[in-house]
Amino acid sequence: MKYICIDDGAVAELVSGRQFQSIDFEEGADLIKSLSGIGAFMVKSGRITHFQDSDGVFVCTAGAWKKKKYLLIDCEQSQIFSQLPKSDSLVSFQKLLRFCTKLWTNGVYNHSEKVISGTSKAVLFPFNYSANSGFRIAIEREPAKERLAKRDMHGHFLLVYKSGTSGADSAKEIANDGNLKKAFDRLPDIYREIQKTVSDTSVIGDGNQLATTDLGGSPPTSRPAHLPFEHWGPLLTNQQRKFIQAPVETAHRLQGPAGTGKTLSLILRTIHILRTAEKKKRTCHALLVTHSEATREAIQNTLSVVDHAHFQDRDRRTEAVALSVETLASLCANFLSQSISETEFIDRDAQDSKVLQELYIEQAISSSRKSDFSSFKKHLSGELRGLFEGTSDTDLAPLFQHEISVLIKGRAGESFDIYKNCPSLSFGLPVRNEADKGFIFTVFQKYQGQLAANSQFDTDDVVISAVGQLDTPIWRRRRDREGYDFIAIDETHLFNINELQVFHHFSRDAEHLPISFTVDQAQAVGDRGWDDASAFSEALVGDETVKANETTFTAVFRSSPDIRDFCHSVLASGATLFSSFPNTLSGSQSTFTRDDERRSQVITYDEYPDDETMFEAAFVHAEDLLKKTESTRPEVLITSLSEDVIKGLRSISEAKNKPVTILDRRGDYVRVEQAEKAGHIVLGHADFVGGLEFNVVVIVGVDKGRVPFEGEAEDSNSRSFLSYVAHNRLYVAASRAKYALSLLGVKSRGPSKLLDVARSQQLIKAS
C-alpha cells in the first residue's frame, strides 16, 4: 500500500466513533491492521466507503469531491504505521486526524501540535510523555501547490510525508508529492463509484449509521455503569466481551489501569453466568466480594440497575440461582459464626479506624523505644538503628504500619517463624537481619496488645481465625452444600496475601477454581512485594501449578487523553525511581471521542502565596471547572494527599459557607449520593477516593514537602517509602477525573517532584 487518502467526512467519522479509539474494540483493531497494510482494508462504519487497489486506499464519504478536503498519508515515504506498537500507532493516527481537523478549521493547537512558521510544514508529537516522546509526524500543508492551484484545489490537501524520531530543517525539506498526484487523478472516478454505492444501499447505509452513532456516544447516564445488562452489549470492547463470556470453571485474572471498566466487566460477567445458568435450569450460586463495606454498597446499587432478574435479592437457601455480595469480613462472619459487632471491628477503609490504628502503632513504638530498644540496639542493623534513633514516633508510624499490614499480618499470618523467612520489602523499613525482625515484631505485639485491651479486631484477625476453621473436615463436608459455583473478587490489589488465600476455600467443588478477579497493582498503596501480577493468581488459587487465564484491558473509558497522559507520567516517574513500581498504564488509550473532548479541559497547576489563599482558590477552581465542563457540584471532587490540607479545606468551607459532603471511607458511594441530593461538592482525602469517578478533580497541595510528605525524617528509607506511596496516591486521585484536573500548590514550596515529567512534557499549564 503506497498511500491512504482520507476525506474530511471520513476524518470526522473516525474521530467521533468510540470504537475507533482503542484496539480493544474490534473496529479499532481492524482499522490499525488495515492501516499497517495487513490484509484487505476494512473500516466498519455505515458512512464510510473504502476502495483499495494495488497502489493505495481511499477512505471516503458521499458528496462532491471538489468540495472536500483530504489527508493523504504517504505510507511509502513516511513509514508511519510500521514503527510503533499497534496501540501507539492507533493513538498517533487518531491524534493526526484531530490535528488535521484543526489545520482545516484554524483550531487552537496544543503543545504537541506545531505549525512551523515561515514554512508550509506542520509537525505533530503524538507521545509527549512516554518512551516514544521524540516520535513525530511531519505534514506538508501545501503539497503540489501549483498543480492543485491550477485545478482550483489549492489548500484541499495535507500530505503526511515523514515520521520518526530524527529532526530536520523544515524550511529546506521537500516532500515528494508523487503519490499525492496519483491519488488526486483518481478522485473523480472514486467519487462517481461512491455515488452509485450510496444510492444502491441507501437503506442499509442508514441502518449502519445509526449503530455507529450509538456507539460513539457515552452511556446515557451520569452514574458509572448504570445501564441495564442488555444495553451494555453494543458498547463493550472485544476484550470486555471476551472476559464476560469466558468459561466459568477456570480462574481468570482481569488486569487493566484505572477507568478501563474492570468493575463493570466483573459485574457483567457475574450476571452473564447467572443468566446462562437460569436459562439452562442449572443451580448457580455466585459470590461477589468487595474490599470494603462502602464498595459493597456501591456494587449493590449498580446491580439494582444492571440486573433486572434481581439475583442479589434472592435467597440462596430456596432459589437455584442467586448472588451474594459480601466483604471478606461479612463472608467470614456469615460462614464461620465469627460475628463481631461493628464497634469491635476495625475497618481499614474508614477514617476513624485509620487514625486509631496509627495512634496505637505510634504508642507501641514509643513504648518499645522505652522498654526494648536498649536491649535490641547493639544487634540491630546500622540502618534500622539509625532510622529509629533519628526519626520521631509519628514519622515512623506509617512505616511500621506498612510492615505490619503487608508482611507480619499479610504474609506471615502473625507468625514470627514465617516472618523471619519472608523476603523484605524493597521500599519500607530497612530490615536487614533477624534482630531487626525481632524488634519490629515486638512493636507489632504491643500494637496487637492494644487492640486486645480495647476488644477490637481488624480484618486480619478475622481472616486468620477463619482460615483455621476452613481447613477442617467439618467445612469440607459443608462446602458442597454451602460453597459457591462462581466467585468474583473486585480490586484484588487491596487485599493482602493472607486474605487472598481464604477465597478458594469457598468454591463448591475443591477441584475447580471458578474465581475471577480484577487487579491494578499501581492502585495499591506502597511496595507490596508482588513480583508481578501472577503472584495474585498464585495466592488466590492456592496452588502454584494452576495457571489462571488472563485478560488485559487497555481502553480507558473514564478519562480524557490529557488526564490519561498525566496519570501515565506519574506512574512512569514511579517506575523510574522504584524497581518494583508497576506502570500499568503503558500501552493504554483513552476512548474519548471528539465530542467528549469538547468538555475536556487542559490540566493546570496554579500557585498561591500561602495555604489559606490556596484553600479558597480550590473552591474557585471547582466552580469555574464545573461550569466549563457542564457538570453539577456533586460531580466535582476536591481532594489532597495531606490530612492537614483536608482539615484546612474543611474549615474554609465552613467559614465561607461553601457546603461540602465529606468522604471518610474509601469508595463511599452513599456519601456521593448524599452529595447529589444536597447539591454539594465532594471533599475527601486521596485514600478515600478510589473506586469513585468525577467530572472534575481539584487536587490541593501538590507541592514540595507535601507530595511526597517530608516530615523531619532525613532517613532515605523513610523518604523512599513516602515517595512510593505518594506516586500511588496521586495516580489514584488523578485517575478519578473525567474531563478536568486542576492541581494547586504554594509558591514558596514549589511544585512537587512528581509533576516533573508532566511539566517537562508540557502536560500541565498554569491557568
Ligand X SMILES: Nc1ncnc2c1ncn2[C@@H]1O[C@H](COP(=O)(O)OP(=O)(O)OP(=O)(O)O)[C@@H](O)[C@H]1O
**Whole-number minimum distance, CB 215 to ligand X, in Å?**
8
User: Any binding-site annotation on 551?
Assistant: no
User: Any binding-site annotation on 667?
Assistant: no
**Whole-number minimum distance, CB 204 to ligand X, in Å?**
25
| Of residues 259 and 561, the one with the C-beta less far from ligand X | 259
* Cell 519490629 sits on residue: 440
Residue type, 595: D
**Whole-number minimum distance, CB 37 to ligand X, in Å?**
29
Q: Is 146 exposed, middle or buried (0-12, 13-18, 19+ CB in 10 A)?
A: exposed
| Of residues 263 and 401, the one with the C-beta less far from ligand X | 263
Alpha-carbon gap, residue 619 to 609, rounded angstroms: 16
Nearest to 764 by CA among 257, 111, 126: 111
| Of residues 24 and 460, the one with the C-beta less far from ligand X | 24
Buried b (16+ CB within 10 A) or exposed e, 199-232: eeeeeebeebeeebeebbeeeeeebbbbbebeeb
Judged by DSSP in three states, 659 sits in coil
| Of residues 88 and 635, the one with the C-beta less far from ligand X | 635
| Of residues 263 and 351, the one with the C-beta less far from ligand X | 263
User: Any binding-site annotation on 691?
Assistant: no
Q: Is 429 exposed, middle or buried (0-12, 13-18, 19+ CB in 10 A)?
A: buried
| Of residues 262 and 437, the one with the C-beta less far from ligand X | 262
**Whole-number minimum distance, CB 265 to ligand X, in Å?**
7
**Whole-number minimum distance, CB 453 to ligand X, in Å?**
37
**Whole-number minimum distance, CB 185 to ligand X, in Å?**
42
Alpha-carbon gap, residue 10 to 324, rounded angstroms: 48
Alpha-carbon gap, residue 735 to 568, rounded angstroms: 10
Alpha-carbon gap, residue 726 to 755, rounded angstroms: 11
User: Any binding-site annotation on 261?
Assistant: yes
**Whole-number minimum distance, CB 242 to ligand X, in Å?**
13
| Of residues 4 and 225, the one with the C-beta less far from ligand X | 225
Binding site for ligand X (CB under 6 A): 219, 224-225, 235-237, 240, 256, 258-264, 520, 557-558, 691, 693, 735
| Of residues 351 and 591, the one with the C-beta less far from ligand X | 591
| Of residues 32 and 264, the one with the C-beta less far from ligand X | 264
User: Any binding-site annotation on 591?
Assistant: no
DSSP alpha helix (H) spans, 282-405: 293-306, 328-336, 351-371, 373-377, 382-390, 393-403
**Whole-number minimum distance, CB 735 to ligand X, in Å?**
6
User: Any binding-site annotation on 259?
Assistant: yes
The residue number with the shortest CB distance to ligand X is: 261
Q: Give the H/E segment covering residue 57.
A: strand 56-60
The dihedral through the CA atoms of 409, 414, 416, 417 has a sign that is: negative
Strand residue runs (E) in 484-641 = 486-489, 515-519, 549-552, 555-556, 589-590, 603-608, 636-640
**Whole-number minimum distance, CB 305 to ligand X, in Å?**
11
Angle between helices 382-390 and 716-734 (to 10 degrees): 70
**Whole-number minimum distance, CB 752 to ligand X, in Å?**
22
The x, y and z cell numbers of residue 275, run together, are 443468566
The answer to whether 765 touches 601, Cβ cutoff 8 Å, is no
Q: Which long-range contacts (CB under 8 A, 24 or more apart) does 431-437 make?
A: 431/381, 431/384, 431/403, 432/381, 432/383, 432/384, 433/379, 433/380, 433/381, 435/376, 435/379, 435/380, 435/381, 436/380, 436/381, 436/384
| Of residues 231 and 749, the one with the C-beta less far from ligand X | 231
| Of residues 100 and 258, the one with the C-beta less far from ligand X | 258
User: Any binding-site annotation on 260?
Assistant: yes
Alpha-carbon gap, residue 650 to 728, rounded angstroms: 24
**Whole-number minimum distance, CB 626 to ligand X, in Å?**
18
Q: How far is CA 604 from CA 282, 562, 745, in A?
A: 55, 11, 11
User: Any binding-site annotation on 449?
Assistant: no
The answer to whether 688 touches 351, Cβ cutoff 8 Å, is yes
Alpha-carbon gap, residue 183 to 191, rounded angstroms: 12
The answer to whether 81 touches 22, Cβ cutoff 8 Å, is no
The answer to whether 4 touches 75, Cβ cutoff 8 Å, is yes
Residues annotated within the binding site for ATP are 256-263
Residues annotated within the binding site are 256-263
